[in-house]
Structure 1
Amino acid sequence: MTKTSSFTAPKGIPDYVPPASAEFAAVRAGLIHAAHVAGYGLMELPVFEDTALFARGVGESTDVVTKEMYTFPDRGDRSVTLRPEGTAGVMRAVIEHGLDRGQLPVKVYYAGPFFRYERPQAGRYRQLQQVGVEAIGVDDPALDAEVISIADQGFRGLGLTGFRLELTSLGDETCRPQYRELLQEYLFKLPLDEQTKRRAEINPLRVLDDKRPEVRELTADAPLMIDHLSESAKTHFEQVLGHLDALGIPYVVNPRMVRGLDYYTKTTFEFVHDGLGAQSGIGGGGRYDGLMAELGGQPLSGIGFGLGVDRTMLALRAEGKSAGSEARCEVFGVPLGDAAKQRMVLLGAQLRRAGIRVDLAYGGRGVKGAMKAADRSGARYTLVLGDRDLAENTIGLKDMATGDQRQIPLDDAVRLVAAELA
């Protein structure tokens, strides 16, 4: 009778286990690589922070703060929250460590789990995995375009092609107050429910982000921010588009776009993939020119994004593609006998020191069982060593794709195997 554990992972929290975890690792590494080659340095953030950081940084009216945060008192009765997003934590760290007083812009990337209590769906989990970048301290349309291009290159570097970039401008401090009044005047005349009316009072832009069909229908003719930009905000947005054109990055201007966090200003963008259905976003971000000051730092601007690792994996599958290899190793060693095992353990270590991924057959398996294990490992080559081989100072090298096998000098095995893999 098979014995099963009485424990399971929490609802909406995925496990990543071999061999499928290889794709997760490859997607995350690919998205990070695009930031790394653009000169962004790693920032490792706490998994939980003071609740007030997210309430102030993300926005009191957002669904993230009002409905989705994992918030609890710690043993010192301090309110802490599992991080729902990365930007607020990055800003706190930049201020705390004085990075904003050094060379600007501060360019960082981060990766890891984030937490939101929402209904689990395909690729949308309560523990979600993201890669993000932030460029802080310089308000330059060219920097906006660079950040967008890093995300675009990250997706394309993984082989993803069926996505599109949507973007708009959410204005600046000189035009947002007037637009806010104009939008509220429009919304207050509509037969909205009480909860939506309260949202319109706190942050009217959030009403335009409402996914309910009845609210979308009511707000179909709402005034749009992009039609009421100040001259400086309009010029900034036009220059961003000009840089994207020069970089050859296609885009669609979406005037009704409203990101789910309150801190966004000016350039705001999202990458979407229609192969994912209604929940089509695979990543997005924007500029947040007032956030650092809101959190007690200097009035410096910033721009960044968060890309969903899980969502990117789903997008790849929707295109019939995958990333990474499920092969656990490149070479699998099969020792036949105790003396052969001792020598194979040493050879395995030598191959690993040469940068070759190696696994061995353990547990005294017979030839048949060991070769099955070699096949399951995904290795390109199998090394077979028996007592006769030891006596002749040779080892069998088998090509797992073709089935061809030949004897090679044991003392020269590392060099010859490395040459075969090159």
Structure 2
Amino acid sequence: MTAPDSTALRHDLANDLAHGGVLKTAAWRAAVEEVPRELFLRSFFKDAPGPRGHEYTPVSPDADVDEWLTLVYRNETWVTQLDGHLTADKATGPVTGFPTSSSTMPSTVVGMSEALDVDDGMTVLEIGTGTGYSTALLCHRLGEDNVTSVEVDPDVAQRADDALEATGFSTWTVTGDGLLGHPRRAPYHRTIATCALRRIPYAWVRQTKPGGIILATVGPSAWSYGTGLAKLTVKDDGTAEGSIIGRTSFMPARAEAVVPLSGDLAARAAYADTERKTSLSPDTLNDWMPAFLAQLAAPGAQLVRATSDSRETVYLFDTGREAFASLTADGDQWNLRQGGPVAIWDAIEEAVTAWRKAGEPDITSVRMAITPEAHAYWIGGQQITNDQRSYWLGGEEPALRWKHPYPPMTA
């Protein structure tokens, strides 16, 4: 098949991103206009509700080249792998599964590229090569020798490397655990992650030059929302500090991906240590900022909704600590049952209440800092360092502060 000419589509995509305020600089515009996204999306899935639940239909130029190319240049995220192994070129029709790799929508990719604030000659460490499209944009902007990209999945890494070679970029693509960075080529001027993380590894701080920037999505690993794009500057003393600059959503890092709970949920919550009423509805966690706060208060907790006899129960499970909270509607209140060594809903309720008292600030008001020992978030107040991760909200004096029973972060 003769390769289609996507010049006009690339130009239109650049125009759309510029009109949307995402594409701001000439150098990144040139990258968008000259890097053919179709080489990185030779096949993918489009998703829609189906008779078996959420279904994924393979798309490739073999079926309909015009539809395929049009979809490639839509400002959308396309799933490229299901369940850690199934790709669209191996699927013969609609399938079900759990997305494990994707090509992120161009507006997010370009927006993050702009936020990196790169200059000519800078080196970049990219965590999560994926299809390789964002890697190619970085190579176009900075030169292939200045880009190092790490991908944990060998098959995904090979396809990305092949696409990069076909585009003309022989960059440094590495198969490995991106949470460890890539010390061999460190230090880097910039570190960027295209996956979501519970916390930013201190290894990335060590491998980023003082004055350098780390850009990564932090927040819930168990939910697909409630995450924020953190932009941190590494300091001379080996710490990093910055803020959440906006909402963003990525698949979790493979090492932090949560296996969906199955089996008898009620049995998991059979033995409660405490029972009480609460006026805080679990529906509050459908909103972005409360979901972000909930995972600061109860990191790793999974939220599951179950219906029995037309009655819905909302569960939160922390399987690592064998703790749970279950909430069932009772008029304008909720019956709350909690069990295990930590009171999950108490912590979430305290965090959301303090946030509301502070005027419900947006996620962009959150600041954060990383040291070798601690990972801290706050809104207002003064930063406090301790030997474990800590979080607080408040004004001049923190109104709320809590610690997590996790060991100090290490590289």
Same fold, TM exceeding 0.5?
A: no
Between Structure 1 and Structure 2, which shows a larger proportion of strand residues? 2
Between Structure 1 and Structure 2, which shows a larger proportion of helix residues? 1
Using CA pairs below 8 Å that are at least 6 residues apart, which structure has the higher relative contact order?
1
- In the superposition, the TM-score normalised over structure 1's length comes to 0.22
Greater C-alpha radius of gyration: 1
